Amino acid sequence: MTEPTDLAGAAHLLLAQGVVHLDPEPAVFAAMLEGWAQQQRTRFLNYESTIKPRLSVVRRLADFSNQYPWQWQPAEAEAFFDFLRARRPNFAVSTARNYQNALRMFCEYVTDERYEWPRVCLDRFGRQPVQILHEWNSITHASTYEGSPGRRPLSYDEVQMLFDAADEQVEAIRMRGRKGALAALRDAVMLKAVYAYGLRRQEACGLDLVDLRRNPKTPSYGRFGGVFVRFGKASKGGPPKRRTVLTVPEMDWVVDVLADYLSEVRGGFSPSKHPALWVTERRGRVSLRGLNGAFTRARELAELPEELDLHSLRHSYVTHLIEFGYPERFVQEQVGHAYASTTAIYTGVSDDYRNRLLERALKQRHGDLWEEPA
């Protein structure tokens, strides 16, 4: 018999020796979950965004099957996903794959002899865990993009409709003499900033006043020459990525919008020394849900398709920068994509833009012999 190793998450570090549990099955399952969480924490994975959702999926399968991991077979996983699809007809392929990956990794952990769970389960329950997800019952990754086809960039007119609806909401609240006009004005500015800098939700909500940056190349923009993003999307096991998003001339209208917000609006929330750029009536930071709600309200007032979400503004930013003629590498740096292929997925240029490119190519190829159609 080999000596147990002190790996983070090993069974002998989580189960007290010589202790007899009155109800051993839930005690061992709880120790398994804690051990798996420890193993992931040693890889510097984020608990709230990565570890906690994975643990939740494992618990959901246990609740659904009314069995413990050492009792699971592939049939339990297959029935679980069949149930999820029947309950949620719009259950996304990407979400299902994340669930399957979480369950597969959990099974890899509890079937690894180094963590001792196979021996513990065999000794105590006469069974040991097995891998329940294989290539024949898992989703095949056949496409580089599996997002909803309804998510797309907004056209220039749709962006304007969205912003007009957000502004009109402020006036409507004022006309009715009701509270909330200040918050509605803040929300309108937030949406404009998300689009003008191509921000993700977390990036926008995480902005502080000190993240407004001057750009010596555009002194006329003052302190709004760019924004310093400190909470960019992290790679697994890594800290949030940082980048500076420069204010481009085509979006320089945001300079006056932000200046008016700081001078006329933010102080109305009595933020005191709170560092956040976007503050609430309770002197806190605007939440991700609050930002989502601002977009949803404006979208509904503008009568835009419900498939569009806040992230569509980021898609719009990428697309519009490409249409403005900015190089792909510049756009990639602005939005913080590690790979150009990701930026390409975000891009959905208009027919008008493609026709302009086609006309330019025809002129270059045929010169004076090519005539523009009437």
Q: By three-state DSSP, how is residue 204 classified?
A: helix
Between the alpha carbon of residue 321 and those of residues 79, 225, 325, 353, 360, the distances in Å are 46, 17, 7, 12, 18
Taking the C-alpha atoms of residue 288 and residue 207, their distance in angstroms, rounded to an integer, is 12
Residue 110 amino acid letter: V
Marked catalytic residue, from 200, 201, 266, 315: 200
Q: By three-state DSSP, how is residue 247 classified?
A: coil
Residue 260 amino acid letter: D
Is 52 known to be catalytic?
no
The token duo for 181 is 């006009």
CA angle 103, 104, 106 (to 5 degrees): 65
Which residues sit opposite 212 in a β-bridge? 227
270 in the Ramachandran plot: left (φ > 0), alpha (ψ -120 to 50) or beta?
A: left
Taking the C-alpha atoms of residue 10 and residue 38, their distance in angstroms, rounded to an integer, is 9
Distance of CA 293 to the CA centre of its chain: 16
CA angle 117, 122, 126 (to 5 degrees): 145
Is 314 known to be catalytic?
yes
- Tracing tokens 């085509």 back to the chain, one arrives at 250
Distance of CA 330 to the CA centre of its chain: 22
Is 311 known to be catalytic?
yes
Residue 124 amino acid letter: R
Marked catalytic residue, from 233, 241, 243, 356: 233
Marked catalytic residue, from 54, 201, 314, 315: 314
CA angle 237, 243, 247 (to 5 degrees): 155
| DSSP letters spanning 45-99 | --IIIIIHHHHHHHHHHHHHHT--GGG--HHHHHHHHHHHHHH-TT--HHHHHHH
Marked catalytic residue, from 109, 115, 195, 346: 346
CA-only gyration radius of the chain, Å: 26
Q: By three-state DSSP, how is residue 141 classified?
A: coil
Between the alpha carbon of residue 27 and those of residues 54, 103, 124, 245, the distances in Å are 19, 20, 12, 50
Taking the C-alpha atoms of residue 58 and residue 117, their distance in angstroms, rounded to an integer, is 16
Marked catalytic residue, from 151, 311, 353, 356: 311
Q: Which residues are part of the catalytic machinery? A: 200, 233, 311, 314, 337, 346
